Amino acid sequence: MAELTFDIPDNIYSKLAQLQNSAEYAPKMLEAEQDIVYPEVMRRLEPHRRSGDLIKGMTKTTPKMDKSGRWRAKIEPSGYDKKGVSNNQKLLSLEYGTSKQIATPILRPAREATANQAMEAAQKVFNEAVSK
C-alpha cells in the first residue's frame, strides 16, 4: 500500500511515555507532523493531475495506537476514480513505476523535504506538554 506512516521518534517517545497524559499529546504530535507533510505531498501530486481523483482521495488518518503500543498516523490514498481504478494503485504506479511508466516518487521526497520542519512541529507540541 502506498502510504506515509508517522510515528514518534524513540528518544521523544520514551520521555512522552513518562508523562501522565501522554495519550493526549501523542496524537497532537503526529497531527502536527501530518499538517507539515500533507501540503508537500499535495504539491508534488499536482503535476500528475488528470481527473483530480487521486488528489481528492489523499487522506490523513486519525492517530491511533497500534498493537505494540506505539502511536501512528498515515497519509494515504483512498477510494477509486470514475473508471474504478484504485487511487492506491495509481499512487503506487507513480511512486515505483510500472513496466511502461518511469517511477516518479512522491511520498518519500515529500517526507524528506519536510522532515526537519515536521520534527520541529512535533517537538514544539512535546515541549508544550512538558512545560505544563
- Show the cell assigned to 127: 515541549
What is the pTM (predicted TM-score) of this model? 0.86
**CA angle, corner 110, sides to 5 and 35, nearest 5?**
65
DSSP 2: -
pLDDT tens profile 38-95 = 999 999 999 888 878 899 999 999 999 889 888 899 999 999 988 999 999 999 999 9
- Would you say how long the chain is, in residues? 132
| Residues sharing a CB contact under 8 Å with residue 72, sequence separation 6 or more, in sequence order | 5, 6, 7, 30, 63, 64, 65, 66
Q: Where are the domains of the chain?
A: 4-131
Q: Are 85 and 94 in contact (CB under 8 A)?
A: no
pLDDT in tens, 18-39: 777 777 888 999 999 999 999 9
